[in-house]
Chain A
Amino acid sequence: MNAKKTKLVVIGNGMAGIRTLEELLKMSPDEYEITVFGTEPQPNYNRILLSPVLSGEMQFQDTVLNDWSWYQENHITLHAGKTVSKIDRHRCQVETEDGIVAPYDRLLIATGSNPIMLPVPGINLPGVLGYRSIDDVEKMLGMAGPGSRAVVIGGGLLGLEAANGLMMRGMDVSVVHLCDWPMERQLDKVGGGLLKEALQKRGMKFYLSRQTEAILGETAVTGLRFKDGEEIPADLVVMSAGIRPNIALAKSAGIHCERGIVVSDTMQTYDPKIYSVGECVQHRGQTYGLVAPLFEQAKVAANHLARYGRMRYEGSSVSTKLKVTGIDLFSAGDFNPVEGDEELLLQDSARGVYKKLVLRDNKLRGAVMYGETVDGPWYFQMMRDGTDVSELREHLLFGQMHLGDSGLGGASSVANMPDSTEICGCNGVCKGAIVNAIVDKKLFTLEEVRAHTKASASCGSCTGLVEAILANTLGGDYSAKSSKKAICACTESAHQDMPKAIRELGVKTIPDLMRALNWKTADGCHVCRPALNYYLLTAWPGEYQDDSRSRFINERVHANIQKDGTYSVVPRIWGGVTSPAELRSIAEIAEKYQVPSVKITGGQRIDLLGVTKENLPKMWGDLVAAGFVSGHAYGKSLRTVKTCVGSEWCRFGTQDSTGLGIKVEKITWGSWTPHKFKIAVSGCPRNCAEATIKDFGIVCVDSGYELHVGGNGGIKVRVTDFLCKVGSEAEVLEYCGAFMQLYREQAHYMDRTAPWIERVGLAYVKQHIVDDASGRAELYARFLESQRYSQDDPWKERAEGKDAHEYVALATIEQGELQ
């Protein structure tokens, strides 16, 4: 081994410690000579899956995350089955019980936690076990058998999972719990009551509000006595009264500990050479026992060990899901309302459904759900985003009704879906395939599931369902995407960081921005480059040099690529109003270039399909000569303004909707937006232009104009939210431009208006567009300023020769040249 390498010693061969190494090896594979000590004789396994092993739904080998060869391949020295007994901070070395000494330059403590063993008589009898390791599970299985009796002390998450597992092994199982209902840290009284009933129906017995006084037996466990004197028989007692951070070793080395090993936001202990992650740490007063926060900590610790020195751990909010097959339960946040909080409740005893949401200041603080948990991830996301839900509150409890389509509209319980249910309609992925991939390939995140199964990787409408399946398969321990999600694997930066970073750093090119934010790849990828190009373009209108290499093909060549590699051409037809002369020129041009297919689009335009790339500039030249400009049907940009005929002809029309539509389109065309942007103007409330499923919809009424925002057809049909009513066309234009600018400046790239509004809340949009007149005027002014630079017709430029290399082959090699 290279003697010059820095030495990293890891105490703890569990999920947090090894995850940190995995993250570290990804960033900096050669930085360290790594040694790992683990008390357990096994390689790193997935502790979350102990319950399925106990219940017999899974084998131990299925839970192994890193087998022996992984340690070898990464040149990691593993001492499995060796317990470190001393950290010598003066000599910078650790020592094991049997005398192995390992020096360190950096030390990572990931000693996890221990089950709390109640200090009652009999606690040391054979047959009394904790529930923590595969060793505990094997011992339990050794004693389990039909007819024998198990008592689980502690009716929390783990206790119930253990009880369920033992029951599935044929044991007669009782749960003893101090509180009035099980899982009181995750459930309120009603939810806990429903859970108890469901488990009782399966045969589990409950002794609630009971305190254990003694464990009975001479040479082995025979029973249990409560404080009130009652005795119950038992052959096996499982202690699941909670976990305690395992800090004895750190404490003996003089490292500052309270309940856990105290760490900073960089996951360092008070000794800066020593890092700590996992259940043993205490961060900002919190300790964690679920895997998602541990993985976030691992990422931060690895980032600092790799000398990137950029990330901070700022604590996690966690959600919980019980891994008992057939029971759907979800909880997150603070669900016990305190003064000033509001509660929303839904209880349907017949269907066994219970939901409680706790709000404060119009924001979600907590959620408990039982029986129907599909919307859990949605609530959790809004909780972490701090979404203002005041406009949603009437519907909030009924969930995200548009979650998942492709015939799944009524599906409320992922757990009860058969494996053959198709989840992802785009890629034809069934529930069974997703579950198998999660288990076999040991996946933890949505991104991993997407990469391996393609589920939700196309249109994304089934993302919520896929997340629910992840949560259901892994329990509460899956790594839900954190509210600050990195744009892609090239960076730790999130979409919401970009506009501010660009402004503050003053950078004006993609390479400069990547350098300033420590991008991990030389020139990004197909995900981040278009996003950065968009953010820079929005930040510096007129100044930023658009990077065509960071544009998706459609925006690079200003036409829509089709499945056979040809393109479609859609000329702009203002407000959908055309003339015989215009139609004649389109017809002639279509014939001249032998366009195989001509179609009217949903946005009232004419689509010329099947044009070869070489023909595009020539065809555009002809279209431009006939008075057309690009229709931008290919871009994340203003698409079309759809109109009805309005008061000019229609006997119901209240205003000139076509005229207004043309004015709106003249102002907004050419603008680049985070995703495509569609507008419609209807001349009366009959709404023939379908304005209420557009990003910005105008419905004319006798007394003025109703403005609606955030609608879309497509994947998930979403009806607009009503923004406000205005009295004049001039106001329509101002509100429309201001709304577009707010969306352009604040939405994440690739978010349409609907998810953006759902994230920030309609109240936020109203506040900026309706209530704040001067803010609105400023937004509108910035929109118009930006439009000064974006209304050059890209077709005309290319017909005149710009980017000619995009449209022609470099060379042709004739058959004769091939010898």
Chain B
Amino acid sequence: MNWIQVGMLSDIPRQGSRVINTATGEIALFRSVDDRVFALNNRCPHKGGPLSQGIVHGTRVTCPLHSWVIDLESGEAVAPDKGCAHRHEVRVAHGVLFLEVSNEATKCT
């Protein structure tokens, strides 16, 4: 367990995303329209597009490069596409964002 404070919920626009730089690559934090926060690697499983730049809708994000749709809760591409943008644990407490960073991203099913 290694929860790191990365910013405030208000730093991320609703239906938007912000990026956290880490030594192992970028992690994108997403904020849904109902203020839930999700964290994925900022790389589309298709061709590595920056998911943080996509349009966030519901609990999904559409990659800006070729419009793959990634589920924010699981990190999995929405069928019939297949692939996973590994998920990270993120929590919001009193408006503060905490990201659990481990060298291993959460495994996909």
**How many residues of B are counted as interface, with CB atoms below 8 angstroms from the partner's CB atoms?**
42
Contact with B along A806-819 (1 / 0, CB 8 A): 00011111110111
B65 A561 Cβ-Cβ under 8 A = yes
Q: Using known A-B contacts A523-B58, A526-B54, A553-B54, determine if residue A818 contacts B64 with beta carbons closer than 8 Å.
A: no
User: Is the C-beta of A805 less than 8 angstroms from some C-beta in chain B?
Assistant: yes
Q: Using known A-B contacts A805-B18, A813-B23, determine if residue A523 contacts B54 with beta carbons closer than 8 Å.
A: no
User: Is the C-beta of A452 less than 8 angstroms from some C-beta in chain B?
Assistant: yes
Q: Using known A-B contacts A529-B55, A529-B57, A813-B4, determine if residue A549 contacts B14 with beta carbons closer than 8 Å.
A: yes
Q: How far is the CB of B2 from chain A (nearest CB, A)?
A: 6
User: Is the C-beta of A269 less than 8 angstroms from some C-beta in chain B?
Assistant: no
A810 B13 Cβ-Cβ under 8 A = no
User: Is the C-beta of A737 less than 8 angstroms from some C-beta in chain B?
Assistant: no
- Whole-angstrom distance between the alpha carbons of A550 and B6 in the complex? 26
Q: Using known A-B contacts A522-B34, A529-B57, determine if residue A818 contacts B101 with beta carbons closer than 8 Å.
A: yes
- Whole-angstrom distance between the alpha carbons of A565 and B15 in the complex? 20
User: Is the C-beta of B92 less than 8 angstroms from some C-beta in chain A?
Assistant: no
A549 B18 Cβ-Cβ under 8 A = no
- Whole-angstrom distance between the alpha carbons of A550 and B103 in the complex? 34
Q: Which residues of B contact A523 (CB under 8 A)?
A: 15, 33, 57-58
User: Is the C-beta of B62 less than 8 angstroms from some C-beta in chain A?
Assistant: yes
Q: Which of A549, A563, A815 has the most CB of B within 10 A?
A: A549
Q: Which residues of B contact A563 (CB under 8 A)?
A: 47, 65
Q: Which residues of B contact A521 (CB under 8 A)?
A: 57-58
B101 A549 Cβ-Cβ under 8 A = no
User: Is the C-beta of B83 less than 8 angstroms from some C-beta in chain A?
Assistant: no
B55 A451 Cβ-Cβ under 8 A = no
Q: Using known A-B contacts A525-B57, A553-B53, determine if residue A810 contacts B64 with beta carbons closer than 8 Å.
A: no
Cβ < 8 Å to B, chain A residues 547-595: 548-550, 552-553, 557, 561, 563, 565
- Whole-angstrom distance between the alpha carbons of A141 and B29 in the complex? 61
A-B contact count (CB 8 A): 96
Cβ < 8 Å to B, chain A residues 500-532: 521-526, 529-530
B57 A810 Cβ-Cβ under 8 A = no
A530 B55 Cβ-Cβ under 8 A = yes
**Residue of chain B at shortest CB distance from A523:** B33
B23 A549 Cβ-Cβ under 8 A = no
Which of B20, B34, B60, B103 has a CB less than 8 Å from the CB of A811? B20
- Whole-angstrom distance between the alpha carbons of A303 and B22 in the complex? 48
B4 A552 Cβ-Cβ under 8 A = no
A805 B11 Cβ-Cβ under 8 A = yes
Q: How far is the CB of A346 from chain B (nearest CB, A)?
A: 40
Q: How far is the CB of B98 from chain A (nearest CB, A)?
A: 11
Q: Which residues of A contact B58 (CB under 8 A)?
A: 521-523, 525
Contact with A along B10-31 (1 / 0, CB 8 A): 0111111011111100100100
Which of A452, A809, A815 has a CB less than 8 Å from the CB of B23? A815
Q: How far is the CB of A333 from chain B (nearest CB, A)?
A: 34
User: Is the C-beta of B7 less than 8 angstroms from some C-beta in chain A?
Assistant: yes
A549 B15 Cβ-Cβ under 8 A = yes
- Whole-angstrom distance between the alpha carbons of A334 and B14 in the complex? 52
A810 B49 Cβ-Cβ under 8 A = no
**Residue of chain A at shortest CB distance from B56:** A549
B80 A451 Cβ-Cβ under 8 A = yes
Q: Which residues of A contact B102 (CB under 8 A)?
A: 818
Q: How far is the CB of A87 from chain B (nearest CB, A)?
A: 40
- Whole-angstrom distance between the alpha carbons of A813 and B6 in the complex? 8
- Whole-angstrom distance between the alpha carbons of A553 and B49 in the complex? 12
A549 B6 Cβ-Cβ under 8 A = no
Q: Using known A-B contacts A451-B80, A811-B7, A813-B6, determine if residue A550 contacts B101 with beta carbons closer than 8 Å.
A: no
Which of B4, B55, B65, B67 has a CB less than 8 Å from the CB of A549? B55
A525 B62 Cβ-Cβ under 8 A = yes
Q: Which residues of A contact B15 (CB under 8 A)?
A: 523, 549-550
Q: Which of A522, A523, A814 has the most CB of B within 10 A?
A: A523
Q: Which residues of A contact B49 (CB under 8 A)?
A: 565
- Whole-angstrom distance between the alpha carbons of A168 and B2 in the complex? 70
Q: How far is the CB of B35 from chain A (nearest CB, A)?
A: 12
- Whole-angstrom distance between the alpha carbons of A813 and B20 in the complex? 7
Q: Which residues of B contact A813 (CB under 8 A)?
A: 4, 6, 20-23, 99, 101
Q: Using known A-B contacts A526-B67, A561-B53, A810-B29, determine if residue A805 contacts B13 with beta carbons closer than 8 Å.
A: yes
**Residue of chain B at shortest CB distance from A819:** B2
Q: How far is the CB of B70 from chain A (nearest CB, A)?
A: 11
Contact with B along A226-250 (1 / 0, CB 8 A): 0000000000000000000000000
- Whole-angstrom distance between the alpha carbons of A723 and B48 in the complex? 45
Q: Which residues of B contact A522 (CB under 8 A)?
A: 33-34, 58
Q: How far is the CB of A457 from chain B (nearest CB, A)?
A: 8
Q: How far is the CB of B7 from chain A (nearest CB, A)?
A: 5
Q: Which residues of B contact A526 (CB under 8 A)?
A: 54-55, 57, 62, 67, 69
- Whole-angstrom distance between the alpha carbons of A563 and B58 in the complex? 26
- Whole-angstrom distance between the alpha carbons of A530 and B4 in the complex? 35
Q: Using known A-B contacts A549-B15, A553-B53, A561-B53, determine if residue A810 contacts B20 with beta carbons closer than 8 Å.
A: yes
Q: How far is the CB of B18 from chain A (nearest CB, A)?
A: 4
Q: Using known A-B contacts A452-B80, A561-B65, A818-B101, determine if residue A550 contacts B18 with beta carbons closer than 8 Å.
A: no
B55 A552 Cβ-Cβ under 8 A = yes
B103 A818 Cβ-Cβ under 8 A = yes
Q: Which of A563, A810, A812, A814 has the most CB of B within 10 A?
A: A810
B6 A552 Cβ-Cβ under 8 A = no
Q: How far is the CB of B74 from chain A (nearest CB, A)?
A: 18
Cβ < 8 Å to B, chain A residues 788-819: 805, 809-815, 817-819
Q: How far is the CB of A636 from chain B (nearest CB, A)?
A: 14
Q: How far is the CB of B67 from chain A (nearest CB, A)?
A: 7
List 5 additional A-B contacts (Cβ < 8 Å) besides A525-B58, A809-B19, A810-B29. Answer: A526-B57, A552-B55, A553-B64, A810-B12, A811-B6
Give 23 pairs: A residue, B residue, CB < 8 Å, sorted on A: A458-B66, A522-B33, A523-B15, A523-B33, A525-B62, A526-B54, A526-B55, A526-B57, A529-B57, A549-B55, A550-B55, A557-B53, A561-B53, A809-B19, A810-B11, A810-B12, A811-B6, A811-B21, A813-B20, A813-B22, A818-B101, A818-B102, A819-B2
Which B positions have Cβ atoms within 8 angstroms of A? 2, 4, 6-7, 11-16, 18-23, 26, 29, 33-34, 47-50, 53-58, 60, 62, 64-67, 69, 80, 99, 101-103
Going nearest first, the 6 A-B pairs with the smallest beta carbon separation are: A526-B62, A810-B18, A549-B15, A526-B55, A812-B21, A815-B23
